[in-house]
Amino acid sequence: MIKRVVIKPARERTIRGRHPWLYSGGVKQLEGDPQPGDVVEVVSTHGEWLARGVYNPFSQMRVRVWTWDPDEPVDEDLISRRLHSAIDLRETVIPEAVTDACRLVHGESDGLPGVVVDRYGDWLVMQVLSFGAERWRQELGHALMHLIPNIKGIYERSDVEVRRLEGLELRTGMVQGEEPPEWITIREHGLRFQVDIRHGQKTGFYLDQRDNRQRVSELLAGKKVLNCFCYTGAFSVYAIRAGAQHVTSIDSSAEALDVGAKNLALNGFLDDRATWVSADVFSELRRMRDRRESYDAVILDPPKFAPTSAQVNKAARAYKDINLLGFKLLQPGGLLFTFSCSGGIDMALFEKIVAGAALDAGVHARIVGRLHQSADHPVGLNFPEGAYLKGLICQISRE
Ligand code: SAH
């Protein structure tokens, strides 16, 4: 018997609109006893074929759709075609001269639900975040090695909590090929950075901020800069190259700060214009405010405070708190570069939060730029959730 998921009429429009997620609440009935990881046909209450996806009874996201073409089986060939198209997109939008590190596969937006692949020079790092991706993990590995010349190996970093929501264990280790070295040196906009793909955050580096680092640094010449949540100092190194007078970088991870100092040296810059502070940003900004410190520019690039919509209210308070303090630490005419990578908070809400922060800080501020994730993190037009990173450049008035 064919394994089918009959959906409620109210969910039809979403699936016809090519949104790839079907939640448990949208399921009317199961047919053919689908098992975890099985390919299922998604059909309307009238039995009309709508889509084909992978079934997961452990997740609230019961089906992730892999195709809307009735003649397209979900198999190795599909995976290979999708990877091919994903690689082609990067070749088009990320010139080789800009970087040798980029996101090659961005999950749903590349038609591969739950699959993330980042390239760091000759190595790939893969994250497998859905049951379907888990099922075709080896096929994904083979196809990647085959499609990209000169790749030495693929390392897996499926050590992310969202896997538990899918009913999957966390896992790290080699998928294919040679073991990567302890440190990989990547290039980005003419700078070099050390990446530890085994232990670094995410898959090792925040590739999504590449273009923003360049754009932000163009406005920092001669400025006294505060870089909050600096990780391995990428924004700081860009700022120093751009001629910033001084950059103070804060992060709670002492290991990340050590790498930051090394990255500065790796690019041939002296450390006389850099201060690295190991602290909690929330309390450090308060201490700085109490000491009446001030800066020409403040960068706020915090971790995901609201991974899903459930944490939005708590996250909104945290964003408001740091943005308020950020505004207070600015000199008249100063610039705030503020980001949110929370899927649960969209640009409109983020703007409201930042507006509230300016009001409470008693500053008049204007938006002079809006920032997004780099082009190697594309957003499927059928999948607005793909646009997770948003940023604002605000200038506060001189009066
Ligand atoms: N801007 C960075 C990426 C920032 S990721 C880049 O371009 O590479 C977020 C960083 O915030 C992480 O390095 C994490 O260690 C740090 N972090 C998380 N919570 C923190 C806190 N409360 N105080 C200080 N740093 C924190």
Q: Per-residue DSSP letters for 114-171?
A: TEEEEEETTEEEEEE-SHHHHHTHHHHHHHHHHHSTT--EEEEEE--THHHHTT---E
Question: What's domain 76-184's architecture?
Answer: 2-Layer Sandwich (3.30)
Give the domain ranges of the chain. Answer: 4-67, 76-184, 206-396
Is the distance from the beta carbon of residue 256 to the nearest atom of ligand 1 less than 6 Å?
yes
pLDDT of residue 398: 85
- Give residue 395's region: left, alpha or beta (phi > 0; psi -120 to 50): beta
pLDDT digits (tens, 9 = 90+) for 206-239: 999 999 999 999 999 999 999 999 999 999 999 9
pLDDT of residue 187: 98
Could you tell me the distance, in angstroms and rounded to a whole number, from the CA of residue 50 to the centre of ligand 1? Answer: 42
- Considering only CA atoms, which residue is closest to atom 18 of ligand 1? 303
Could you tell me the distance, in angstroms and rounded to a whole number, from the CA of residue 72 to the centre of ligand 1? Answer: 42
Contacts with 97 (C-beta within 8 Å, 6 or more apart), sequence order: none
Q: What is d(CA 398, CA 213) in angstroms, rounded to the nearest whole number?
A: 25
Amino acid identity, position 128: V
Tokens 């499927």 found at: 380
pLDDT of residue 354: 98
Q: Which ligand 1 atom sits nearest the alpha carbon of residue 302?
A: 9
CB of 133 closer than 8 Å to CB of 56: no
Is the distance from the beta carbon of residue 254 to the nearest atom of ligand 1 less than 6 Å?
no
Is the distance from the beta carbon of residue 284 to the nearest atom of ligand 1 less than 6 Å?
no
pLDDT of residue 324: 98
Q: What is d(CA 360, CA 122) in angstroms, rounded to the nearest whole number?
A: 48
Report the CATH number of the 4-67 domain.
2.30.130.10
341 is catalytic: yes
Is the distance from the beta carbon of residue 235 to the nearest atom of ligand 1 less than 6 Å?
yes
Superfamily name and number for 206-396: Vaccinia Virus protein VP39 (3.40.50.150)
pLDDT of residue 306: 83
Q: Which ligand 1 atom sits nearest the alpha carbon of residue 235?
A: 7
Could you tell me the distance, in angstroms and rounded to a whole number, from the CA of residue 53 to the centre of ligand 1? Answer: 36
Low-confidence residues of the chain: pLDDT under 70: none
Is the distance from the beta carbon of residue 252 to the nearest atom of ligand 1 less than 6 Å?
yes
Helix axes 234-241, 210-217, angle to 10 degrees: 30
pTM of the model: 0.97
Distances in Å between the Cα of 287 and the Cα atoms of 7, 242, 325, 328, 329 are 54, 28, 10, 12, 11
Q: What are residue 49's DSSP bridge partners?
A: 43
